[in-house]
């Protein structure tokens, strides 16, 4: 299996004269899940969009397998991005959406044969629950040819059962892809991730021990123990 490497370095982003992101660095390779945590407005989603290539910044260096890309989304097979808002056309049926968003028969079959999607193939996307729609979106992305999957709040507003299904998807496909995920649900981000980055005061702080999340005041004291994470 080919192992792909993503490097995002020297990312600077200013908004209204304020430095939102300062010299941020991240690496990810096939088989890794990198989790990004931080408070509202700290720049997590902006960073994902910058490395995807859909948001401009004042400086960045993004490379995949040693080759620099200004907008990776324009090159097939590099990155897929899950935005916070639903992106599937609601007036199409699930079967029609699968036909539109998959490139090969294997991809098509992987999605349509999924046990949670199969019962809904004839339904309009608008008729799905929020959790079903989110699961379908993620399932389509992980079955794409993209080497790296960027997930922006994949657990937001999902019921506990659907969150666990999303966790299983990440686990099932991580051997083939690299994942970068961000969410306010720190429990699932921690559980899914190999490495954690905390965004604070515009900088990326690479977390080496979970207790740092409390020491750096991202989590209240005792949160990790209460959640059973330590």
Q: What is the pTM of this model?
A: 0.96
What's the confidence (pLDDT) of residue 1?
67
3-state SS string for the chain: CCCCEEEEEEEEEEECCEEEEEEEEEEEECCCEEEEEECCCCCHHHHHHHHHCCCCCCEEEEEECCEECCCHHHCCCCEEEECCCCCCCCCCEHHHHHHHHCCCHHHHHHHHCCCCCHHHCCCEHHHCCHHHHHHHHHHHHHCCCCCEEEEECCCCCCCHHHHHHHHHHHHHHCCCCEEEEECCCHHHHHHHCCEEEEEECCEEEEECCCCHHHHCCCCCCCHHHHCCCC
Per-residue pLDDT, 230: 86
Give the pLDDT score at 133: 96
Per-residue pLDDT of the chain (230 residues; tens, 9 = 90+): 689 999 999 999 999 888 999 999 999 999 999 999 999 999 999 999 999 999 999 999 999 999 999 999 999 999 999 999 999 999 999 999 999 999 999 999 999 999 999 999 999 999 999 999 999 999 999 999 999 999 999 999 899 999 999 999 999 999 999 999 999 999 999 999 999 999 999 999 999 999 999 999 999 999 999 899 88
Look at residue 2 in the predicted model and tell me its pLDDT: 82
Q: What is the pLDDT of residue 152?
A: 98
Residue ranges and CATH numbers for the domains of the chain are 5-84+141-226 (3.40.50.300)
């Amino acid at each position: 299996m080919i192992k792909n490497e993503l490097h995002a370095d020297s990312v600077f982003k200013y908004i209204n004269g304020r430095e939102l992101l300062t010299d941020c660095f991240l690496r990810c390779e096939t088989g890794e899940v990198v989790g990004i945590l931080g408070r509202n407005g700290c720049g997590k989603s902006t960073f994902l969009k910058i490395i995807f290539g859909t948001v401009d910044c004042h400086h960045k260096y993004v490379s995949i397998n040693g080759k620099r890309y200004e907008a990776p989304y324009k090159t097939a097979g590099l990155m897929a991005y899950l935005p916070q808002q639903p992106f599937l056309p609601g007036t199409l049926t699930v079967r029609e959406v699968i036909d539109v968003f998959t490139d090969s028969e294997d991809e098509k079959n992987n999605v349509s044969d999924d046990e949670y999607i199969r019962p809904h193939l004839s339904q309009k996307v608008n008729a799905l629950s929020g959790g079903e729609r989110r699961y379908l979106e993620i399932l389509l992305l992980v079955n794409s040819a993209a080497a790296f999957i960027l997930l922006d709040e994949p657990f937001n507003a999902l019921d506990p059962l659907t969150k666990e299904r999303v966790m299983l998807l990440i686990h099932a496909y991580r051997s083939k892809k690299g994942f970068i995920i961000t969410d306010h649900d720190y429990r699932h981000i921690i559980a899914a991730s190999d490495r954690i980055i905390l965004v604070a005061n515009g900088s990326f702080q690479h977390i080496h021990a979970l207790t740092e999340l409390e020491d750096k005041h991202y989590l209240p004291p005792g949160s990790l123990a209460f959640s059973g994470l330590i």
